[in-house]
Amino acid sequence: MEIKVSEIEARLPRPLASDEKPRMEALIADALEYIETEYRRCGRTLDSELARTSWLEAVVRRVVREMVSAAVLVGPNVGMRSASSTTGPQSDSITFADVDSVGWGGVRLTDQQRLDLGSVSYTHLTLPTNRE
């Protein structure tokens, strides 16, 4: 399965800086590897499941977009719950709501994304038996 930078970039709320594109390519590869590993952990392969399950490719694409977008947009703020700054009479603060969606190394597969991929367990991916 191939997912291009442009497929994700078109959905971001801001244009990518030129130095972010190579990072995004690496993050896409990381996200696909993460998902493939989840399948291998339960004795399956992503390729075979894609061939047998009509809806799975759309879900994998969406999950990869979510994983990569979160890593790119959160960037250096990974792990932060809140930040504030004050300069003279001006102050700013921000609170992050979804701090667990990005790992320090880049992408992370959330429990909800595992469920979206057909998981009934947080540690092993189990696909539904009703295939279309």
Q: What is the mean pLDDT of residues 68-97?
A: 76
3-state class (DSSP) for residue 94? strand
Q: Binning pLDDT at 50, 70 and 90, where does residue 1 land?
A: confident
User: Residue 27 class from Cβ within 10 Å (0-12 exposed, 13-18 middle, 19+ buried)?
Assistant: buried
Q: pLDDT per residue over 74-87, tens digit each?
A: 766 665 667 788 88
Query: Strand 82-87 relative to strand 102-103: parallel, antiparallel, unpaired?
Result: unpaired
Phi–psi pair at 21, nearest 5 degrees: -65, -45
3-state class (DSSP) for residue 53? coil
Q: What is the mean pLDDT of residues 18-33?
A: 94
- Spatial CB neighbours of 89, under 8 Å, sequence gap ≥ 6: none
Q: How far is CA 92 from the centre of its chain?
A: 28
CA 8, 47, 41: angle at the middle one, nearest 5? 95
Q: Is the pTM of this model over 0.85?
A: no
110 in Cβ contact with 100 (< 8 Å)? yes
